[in-house]
Amino acid sequence: MKCKLVKGTKDNLKELCDTLGARGKMDLGPIITTVQGVLDDIKANGDEAVLKYTEKFDGAKLTPETMKVTKEEIDEAFSLMEKEDPELLRIMKQAANNIRIFHEQQKEDGFMMDTAKGSKIGVVVRPITVAGVYVPGGTAPLPSTVLMDVIPASVAGVPRIVFCTPPRKDGTIAPVILAAASIAGATEIYKVGGAQAIAAMAYGTKTIPRTDKICGPGNIFVNTAKRLVFGQVDIDMFAGPSEVIIIADKTVNPEFVAADMLAQAEHDKMASAIVLATDEETAKKIHAAADRRSDEASRQAQLEGSMENYCSVIYVDDIDTAIAFSEELAPEHLELCVENPESVLPKINNAGAVFMGQYTPEPLGDYFAGPNHTLPTSGTARFFSPLNTGDFYKKMSVINYNEESLKEVYKDVAKFARSEGLTCHAASIESRFEA
């Protein structure tokens, strides 16, 4: 299967930006109607509705008692992992340690500062009370996402971390997912998926608690549900199809770049992998390698849609043109496969995660390095950040004046209030000094 090989100009780069920006922007009307029905049903009927949709969509017949994962089920998952794949269990624990160490550096402290005459102002930082984490089932378990989404909440000190994931038809959860959730620090695990899981965590049921924030990936129904409950709860970000831009110069190994393209394209049919090569010869070598590797890859259905519609190898006149295109698109992942990536990084403002040099492939960030792989997509890296420890904090302002410090400013405050027509505001201040 072939991706496009084109010469990059100002005009067609803009056109490609517009095409990629439109990915996933399908008519959501029918999906919104369907999802809103699920949300309303669960809000009104709680566990009964959750169990109904779990049987309908996942084929698992559960009860309120079996919906929650028991300690025995978690212990059994660890036993199976230790018996069947102890090396994977070891790797997961090491990855979790790397992720935890990185997110420990993101902890936040508040501050208090002295102002005039003994008054103090500042900020106190508190973890949210209940975090909700959703990880989909799909075609394969995603233990890496479990680690990435649960650990920041754990590091922030969230006392209750609710984890939801779809059950298999026999009412169980893959042992690797249970082990990952336990390693990461989930305090309770529920066998519920889809929009029904988002609704349950947003509104609460008799069995599943209401959460303060919901994070984690999912299909179009899950993401639509997250959008619809935003405001009732906080959410991590508005997720779209996954994407990578790879800026490559003539020093790169074309096989490395081709392999990285396919690593992104195999996500799904709408995933995007764009190479911006700084010379035509390098572009042609990468294009040929990508075509050969795609024919040999296993996930042909996913690759075909992605490679033909949303993947390109583009050769441009210089690296500044490549950087300008990347800045316009604001990709989820940006690989700088160039001789001196440190000289390019200062010019990058819009990217979810930046991978420096040809020996820092994107999957390293997906699984092991430590920074979070839950990243802004669809151009939202212009204003969203990766999931981080700070996402699980809330902050409260603190104002502490005494009589002397208030007396010094009360006339100014009252005058300001009256300028807005709020005379009772002014009187609130002045009442302290009427005598």
Three-state DSSP class for 384?
coil
Three-state DSSP class for 45?
helix
Order of strands, sheet of 120-127, starting from the edge strand that comes earlier in the sequence: 111-114, 120-127, 393-400
Q: Which residue has the tokens 């930006």?
A: 17
What amino acid occupies position 324?
A: A
153 in Cβ contact with 131 (< 8 Å): yes
| β-pairing verdict for 4-7 and 130-134 | unpaired
Q: Nearest to residue 373, comparing CAs of 382, 364, 381, 384?
A: 364
Q: Which of 266, 332, 335, 362 is catalytic?
A: 332
- Name the DSSP class of 118: G
Is 332 noted as a catalytic residue in this protein?
Answer: yes
Q: Which of 333, 335, 362, 373 is catalytic?
A: 333
Is 267 noted as a catalytic residue in this protein?
Answer: no
Query: Using a CB cutoff of 8 Å and minimum separation of 24, what contacts does 79-84 make?
Result: 80/175, 81/175, 81/176, 81/179
| 189: region left, alpha or beta (phi > 0 left; psi from -120 to 50 alpha) | beta
Q: Which residues contact residue 116 at a Cβ distance below 8 angstroms, ignoring those fewer than 6 apart?
A: 405, 408
Order of strands, sheet of 130-134, starting from the edge strand that comes earlier in the sequence: 188-191, 160-165, 130-134, 213-215, 234-235
Q: Which residue has the tokens 């799904």?
A: 268
- Supply the residues annotated as catalytic: 332-333
